[in-house]
Structure 1
Amino acid sequence: MAGRAAPTARRARLGAELRKLRERAGMTTTQAAGLLGTSSGQLSNIEVARFGVSAERVRVAAGAYSCTDQALIEALVAMTGDRRRGWWEEYRGILPPGLLDLAEVEDHGTSLRAAHSMHIPGLLQTLDHAREIHRQAVPEMSPPEIEHRVSYRVKRQNVLYRDHAVPYRALIHEAALRMRFGSADVARAQLRHLLDVGERENVTIRVIPFSAANYPGSGQSVYYVHGTVPALDTAQLDQSHGPAFVDCETHLAQYRLLFERLDTVALTPARSRDLVREIAAEL
């Protein structure tokens, strides 16, 4: 097993899921290590992603922990074999690790959902809009820092355009559409971009209007990445210090419910497009 100084988000999630299986089985690391033929120290290092783990060991561990969810087991096994370096690695040491983790989680997602109150989702931002947002960051960013953030954000958007692009659904509050970042020309171009990208077969954009009688989860921005099985889903929340990730099954169920409720108050895609056009015409 090779050590990893900086485990990736995917490796960290694999270790965390193995720990969950062990804990559900009611085993200590010492008890589990005895069944797996390893030491408690080695097992702990696997669970915190300091060490990698083979597909065979994942299957053995699942059997020792009496896990019968074959779909989950196969999904965990698949996570052991992907050792490719993603494009985000070029930003390691330049951008905060949480942003690299976000790109990696997103890259492996099977579908994506976003709910935003005050900002256009990052995957839907134009270059100029993204640049203006980062210019207003606190603390203030240097010009090179801004350009690194903008180029990173644009590269993330490839998940919407690549071969076998993932389905993406965005729920955007009308307030976010009316927020001004930069000039009227920048704002109009951003709204036109929403109309253009919304034409893609894999992209659905729906607007929650000011007139909505109920707005569950108001004030939150939630990004939900579906894994190969529901147990491997990830919710990402925007924080002032960087992205926060949630993978607790109870919390994931709550965020899925939130999206279901938001769907009931959002305009249809067609009516959402009409509202975007109306707002753009007012600029």
Structure 2
Amino acid sequence: MFSRSLSRSQTESFSRSRRSTRTKTSFREHAVSKDRPERTRKPPAEEALQLGGTLTSSIITLVVGREQRLFAAHEDVLCISPFFQAACRGQFMEAQNKRIYLPDEEPEIFSSVLEYLYKGDYYPRLVHNKRKNAWEFETSDGAAGNVESTVYHHGVDGELLKDTVIYCTAEKYGLDELKRVALRKQGLQSGIQCSTILSSARYAYANTPETDSKLRAHYLALIIRSRGTFKRSGTMQLEMLAGGSQLFFDLFVALCNHVDDVTSIA
């Protein structure tokens, strides 16, 4: 059964009431721009060094996933994240071996998080095409292009968009800049199967707070842009019949706003 009410933050993002003060307000407020130039930030590890940190700090071993893959990172770099700062200073870490266990994380996702902490980005990197004034993915040969990236997630027993899982992981770890990077990369994805979009959207709703509407708005906009495909999708029909998610009520409200916007322009 669909929920019949939106949270305060979602109402501000998707309901018609907000358009009474701004005529073209809709879910597009939160949609990701593909070509807005932004200031390049230094890698978090470099910023930590400037704040007095050191890459000679203790090495923390992280045991990740069901297969207990081992990762190693400097304590000062990990502590950029409030989550790991609390872990390193509390009882969450084995004091003697300096180990932190993350059994519910996916190793591929955690590897990307570490890559971001040390380098300021994760593969595939974002590059700015000055000629087009647009952001693109950098491929392995150095050229720019589109890269679709999914990851198998044991928690859902299926494929999800990697950038969505990274965004939700960054939310948990308190890494707002990583959330921004992951959201921008999602805005560049193309050719995604309907089933993957829907499963990733459900994951996004389940792993972000109601106050964080950006990732949710991305999926609402994506589905609306691809509405012709979703209209013919048996997967979408089954999802709508099954219900059980705030996603579909938000989508309904966003679609209504979209129609209202088109009507007002016409």
TM-score, normalization: structure 2? Answer: 0.30
Higher CA-based Rg: 1
TM-score, normalization: structure 1? Answer: 0.28
Q: Which has the higher contact order (CA 8 A, sep 6+)?
A: 2
Structure with more helix by fraction: 1
